[in-house]
Amino acid sequence: MQKPGQAFLRRRPGSCPPRDHQNLQETLAPLVTASVRKWTGSTKSVSRCARNCAGNREADLSVSVGTNLRYLLEMRAILTALTLFVLTGVGLAQGEDNSTTSYFFRVTVPKGSTKEDVICILCSAEIHGKLTGDLVLIGGNAEISGPVDGDVVVVGGWIHTRGPIGGDALAIGGSLEKEPGAKIAGDAESYPWFHLPGQRSFHPLGVLCLLGGQVLSILIAGGVWRRERSDRLADRLVRWWWLALVVGLGLWFVYFEYLDEYEPASTVMEIVFWLLLLLLSVATWFGYYGLAWALGRRVFRTAAWKTMLAGALILSAALLVPLLGMAVLCGSLCIGLGAGLLFTWPAFRVPAAPEAS
């Protein structure tokens, strides 16, 4: 039995339907259905029909179908990769030695069970049982109702405890709330004014500090750059952002892999090392400013302070998005470092273009 769409696919060269064909949509509908069921073969058939029907309206529609099928193939690969990523994350949640390490997935220690250490990266934890070790969270919140013998450290979240903590309790980026019956043997400190980009919870003081720091740093950098220089820096950044990203990623990798624990052998080497770090920091600052200017001038092209303020607010809003803010921070720092090293000096040394009379 002939399958739907095969009559259309098996047309010989020069036998394509005329331009005034009225049932083209009815013919293409079963074609798409059959093509999705047979990925590779249907894509080749649609491409062959498109070549045979060159110059006709049906050829354009066939090419569009082929493009959509290739898109579906790419989406199939992406969904497969995401599935593997999710399964990998679930596997990472099961640690060794009665410890648990999780990425993105909430960890719950049920009542009556015992764990040694719990580490959560960009996820939260609920402790109803007992922990004989430490609880460490980055970008998540800690809800504690059972005993924890070690320390509790949360960066980018809050701590709410109803059970005893045998060590210290530290919350950076959130508050530390303790029920009347809960006891903390060590120090209990919280710094809600620090907002970690991408964290799930929000504290008004942390959001204000993040916004203020972004605006202040970009306005200070804007005092060094004139508008013409800023435009030249932004133009290069928009055109070569991928090169800046690759260079920034490479330099950050070298730093964390080889220079993070570097111990200078002499005082001179120590001075050179810190001067190099200062240079990289300034370059990252200027490149980050260029990124903010490139974003801000899409909104305001009149006053320079409006452009800088708009760029700072756009970046701040992106940093406040849960989970995504961490990726925005890493990407912007990499692009900023690469752009600062590659494009800062050319933007400064090229003379400003003459104004039109």
- Per-position pLDDT tens, the chain of length 357: 544 444 444 444 444 444 444 444 444 444 444 443 443 344 344 344 444 444 444 444 444 444 444 444 444 444 444 444 444 444 444 444 577 888 888 999 999 899 989 999 989 999 999 999 999 999 999 999 999 999 999 999 999 999 899 999 999 999 999 888 888 999 999 999 999 998 988 889 999 999 999 888 888 888 777 788 888 888 888 889 899 999 999 988 888 777 766 777 778 888 888 888 888 888 888 888 988 999 888 887 777 888 888 888 999 999 999 888 989 999 998 998 888 888 887 776 655 445 444
Q: What is the DSSP letter of 226?
A: -
32 burial (CB, 10 Å; 0-12 / 13-18 / 19+) is middle
Q: How far apart are CA 26 and CA 29, in angstroms?
A: 5
Show the tokens assigned to 57: 């309206």
Residue 260: predicted pLDDT: 67
Phi-psi region of 55 (alpha: psi -120 to 50; beta: other; left: phi over 0): left
pLDDT of residue 228: 82
- What are the C-alpha distances in Å from 343 to residues 9, 179, 311, 331, 351? 53, 54, 19, 17, 14
d(CA 150, CA 185): 10
Q: How far is CA 145 from CA 81, 155, 342, in A?
A: 37, 19, 52
Handedness of CA 218, 224, 227, 232 (dihedral sign): negative
Alpha-carbon Rg for the chain in angstroms: 29
Instruction: Specify the pLDDT at position 348.
Output: 63
| 50 neighbors 62 (Cβ within 8 angstroms) | yes
Residue 120 to residues 124, 256, 322, Cα–Cα distance (Å) = 7, 21, 15
Residues sharing a CB contact under 8 Å with residue 24, sequence separation 6 or more, in sequence order: 17, 58, 61
